[in-house]
Amino acid sequence: MSDYPAEVIRIIEFGEGDAKEISHLFQEVWVQSTEYPEDWRQDRMYSPEKIIEEMRSGIHYFGARLEGRIVGLYKASITDKGLYGEHQTVTPKCRVTGLASAMYIQFAEYGRKHGCKRNYCNILVGQEVGLRLMKKFDFLPWGEPYEQADGMWVQLYERPLNDE
């Protein structure tokens, strides 16, 4: 995957048949994400049943496969404020490959296609990787940082979606 620019990494929408594999990726990645509180990490390790429940409620799961396996994904939902993205998860072997960037490109494309006026997401305060992506893709802070979970401060960011 690192041999491809982010613009050519194909981001697809996953379906209910992918729930078990998505759950496995969450288990692999979130146990290692020690910058987040333990309770938060445990809550991010969804079961296949929870993933299917979310899909049926209108939450979309997008990501990429490498050699047939899901290696990264994020969740998105259309709200009255725009397209909200969260839970970005990338297997350690595919970090710094352009995969996260490819997902942010697709995040904007999907939002525009569905008439959303903005993309928005939370980034952990001080998380360098997230902050670099916000800058790279022209996201701006939206409001003040807030405590999303006990002891976990996040900053909401937005990116206006124009007809580019």
**The predicted structure's pLDDT at residue 7:** 66
Cα 62–Cα 117–Cα 46 angle in degrees, nearest 5: 30
3-state helix, strand, coil in the chain (%, to 5): 35, 30, 30
**Mean pLDDT of the chain, nearest integer:** 92
Q: Which helix (H) or strand (E) holds 78?
A: strand 69-79
Q: Is the pLDDT of residue 63 over 80?
A: yes
Whole-angstrom CA distances from 67 to 71, 75, 117 are: 9, 22, 35
Contact in structure between 51 and 59 (CB atoms under 8 Å): no
pLDDT digits (tens, 9 = 90+) for 14-54: 999 999 999 999 999 999 898 898 998 899 899 999 999 99
Total-model pTM: 0.91
Q: Is the pLDDT of residue 6 over 90?
A: no
* First-residue to last-residue Cα distance in the chain: 26
| Domains defined for the chain, CATH in brackets | 6-116 (3.40.630.30)
pLDDT per position as a tens digit, 118-153: 999 999 999 999 999 999 999 999 999 999 999 999
User: What pLDDT shows up at residue 9?
Assistant: 83
